[in-house]
Amino acid sequence: MFETLKAQPADKILALMQMYREDPRDTKIDLGVGVYKDATGLTPIMRAVKAAEQQIWEAQDTKVYTGLAGDPAFGDAMISLVLADAVPRENVAAVATPGGTGAVRQAFEMIRMARPDARVFVSDPTWPNHLSILKYLGMEMVPYRYFDDETRGVDFDGMMADLKGARAGDVVLLHGCCHNPTGANLNTAEWDAVIEVLLQTGATPMIDIAYQGFGDGLDADAAATRKLVAAVPECLIAASCSKNFGIYRERTGLLMAIAADASARGLNQATLAFLNRQNYSFPPDHGARIVTTILNDDALRGDWMTELEEVRNAMLGLREQLASELQRLSGSDRFSFLAQHRGMFSRLGTSPDKVEALREKHGIYMVGDSRMNIAGLNAQTVPILAAAILDVGV
């Protein structure tokens, strides 16, 4: 039977990683893979994570399942981190998932169960896995304009015009902060306008928040999400712990379904538990337990927040250094957007052939759409990248 299988398209980022590994040049720079790296090129284990794991190792006396929704304490801790007191806790159903990707997948599954004909509005561009999962599930996608290749900022007028085409029963997928892949984010007034359009059209928002703490700070990065959920009757939120806790391989995420009132929470919670059962039964617990231990221990939480700030400020410093070096070399401020973007990624807004020229001539690897991982740089490689960008005529 397997001879009938069709080859699937290769993952572009994984293929790029393989090309980078095979490149013999000592000067090569990896700006493709979407993981945080420190100045030495490593993705370190955070101090609080190490300490939490030690506590867990000493205290844990069983590896039995925690439940279809995962440990309730993990849900409570993450809901507090993301939402604070924006909505009553009794309105929020939640399940642990295998990473933020698992939360996104379960959210799409829930949408399909509730509204088989729902259209999902997605930003152009968006994280490629959003599109891949929606296509696999056979769900209709509607792109909305988002990134302006000229300004390297948000095409807000285009975005608003497109979102006005949504209707009740549709879903609008939004990035809570640190837009992937562009790094360009909505400001406060623009978020207010998006909320108004959602209320006018009756469309349901879904927020993917994978980088809380990587942009302007833990609370600042969650501010738009909190404002939105307080204003709309229903919302889905997919949250990831991979980046801000640095526990990529532990696959730790949470899906939240926010109802208009507490009476609807029970059905939402039962639906989410059912979906977990169909896909993987019980979610993984080790990463969730690490996060719960950190967030519920004042000392560990304080140390985690300190280290997360160090990570955030390091990326901001690299952004500012790169923008400044490009201005120095070019005599133009046309690259100032790099300092204004937030999160791990920025999109240069250049053509695939120039991205290819960066790889061939200079050993600089980034995704073909010109998305680059700022965290793949360090103080020594920033001048190399700046000179290469200008050399190929970006």
Q: Model confidence over 279-299: pLDDT tens digits?
A: 999 999 999 999 999 999 999
Using an 8 Å Cβ cutoff, are 269 and 96 in contact? no
Exposure letters 153-168 (e unless 16+ CB within 10 A, then b): bbbbeebbebbeebee
Reduced 3-state DSSP string for the chain: CHHHCCCCCCCHHHHHHHHHHHCCCCCCEECCCCCCCCCCCCCCCCHHHHHHHHHHHHHCCCCCCCCCCCCHHHHHHHHHHHHCCCCCHHHEEEEEEEHHHHHHHHHHHHHHHHCCCCEEEEEECCCHHHHHHHHHHCCEEEEEECEECCCCEECHHHHHHHHCCCCCCCEEEEECCCCCCCCCCCCHHHHHHHHHHHHHHCCEEEEEECCCCCCCCHHHHHHHHHHHHHHCCCEEEEEECCCCCCCHHHCEEEEEEECCCHHHHHHHHHHHHHHHHHHCCCCCCHHHHHHHHHHCCHHHHHHHHHHHHHHHHHHHHHHHHHHHHHHHHHCCCCCCHHHHCCCCEEECCCCHHHHHHHHHHHCEECCCCCEEEHHHCCCCCHHHHHHHHHHCCC
Q: Which of the residues 238, 243, 357, 369 is marked catalytic?
A: 243
pLDDT score at 72: 97
pLDDT in tens, 299-345: 999 999 999 999 999 999 999 999 999 999 999 999 999 999 999 99
Confidence band for 34, pLDDT divided at 50, 70 and 90: confident
Q: Which of the residues 127, 221, 222, 259 is marked catalytic?
A: 127
Active site residue 354: no
Active site residue 164: no
Q: Which of the residues 52, 94, 210, 375 is marked catalytic?
A: 210
Active site residue 61: no
45-68: average pLDDT? 97
Of the candidate ranges 21-35, 212-226, 249-263, 326-340, the one whose mean pLDDT is the lowest? 21-35
pLDDT in tens, 60-101: 999 999 999 999 999 999 999 999 999 999 999 999 999 999
pLDDT score at 143: 98
Mean pLDDT of the chain: 96
Active site residue 77: no
Between CA 177 and CA 179 the distance in angstroms is 6
pTM across the whole model: 0.96
pLDDT score at 11: 80
pLDDT higher than threshold 90 for residue 15: no
pLDDT score at 8: 86
- Looking at the chain, the whole-number percentage of residues with pLDDT higher than 90 is 93
pLDDT higher than threshold 90 for residue 41: no
197-212: average pLDDT? 98
pLDDT score at 48: 98
pLDDT score at 154: 98
Between CA 171 and CA 165 the distance in angstroms is 11
Q: Which of the residues 170, 208, 221, 369 is marked catalytic?
A: 208
pLDDT in tens, 368-379: 999 999 999 999
pLDDT score at 39: 86
Domains, the chain, ordered by start: 11-45+301-391 (3.90.1150.10), 65-296 (3.40.640.10)
pLDDT score at 196: 98
